[in-house]
Amino acid sequence: MHTGTDGSIYQYVKSTAAITQYNYVAIDEDYNAVSGTKTLVDAGYALGFAQVAFTTSTYGWVALRASANHNVRVKGACAADTTLYTSATAGILDDSSTSQTRIDGVVIVATGATGTSAREILCSGWPQVGALI
């Protein structure tokens, strides 16, 4: 792990598949990362945020705990300052709870745009799974 000058914390990981920049990722016990899904979150994988794109089998840093100037991809019109959930699209968070898992400790600071967009995030502690829905 590495702590940034702004207090953000990063984990060195290896991608097991391509990861789009700003996707949220699921990290296993061997520090392998892949774009996050409800299934992986429900299985207890750690959560992080890819600030750069990864090709398959690439090593790099993902944010585990982020202050300002970090981003995550969200579905269009995702509301700012509200609870976020996994979505049906790998690596994308949303504010719709329908059949998804709540992610506590992270919010976006501006409403998402039409389509899928990257938005600045703030983490209040460590992002973690909320109640399963």
Tell me the HSE value of 84 on the side-chain side, using a 13 A CA sphere. 33
DSSP at 38: H
The Cα 9–Cα 114 span in angstroms is 30
Residue 83 · residue 95 · CB < 8 Å: yes
Other residues' Cβ atoms within 10 Å of the Cβ of residue 31: 14
The Cα 52–Cα 76 span in angstroms is 21
Q: What digits encode the pLDDT tens for the residues 17-72?
A: 999 999 999 999 999 999 999 999 999 999 999 999 999 999 999 999 877 778 89
Bridge partners of 132, per DSSP, are: 101
Would you state the pLDDT for residue 53? Answer: 97
The Cα 127–Cα 18 span in angstroms is 22
Phi, psi of 18 (to 5 degrees): -60, 140
pTM listed for this prediction: 0.88
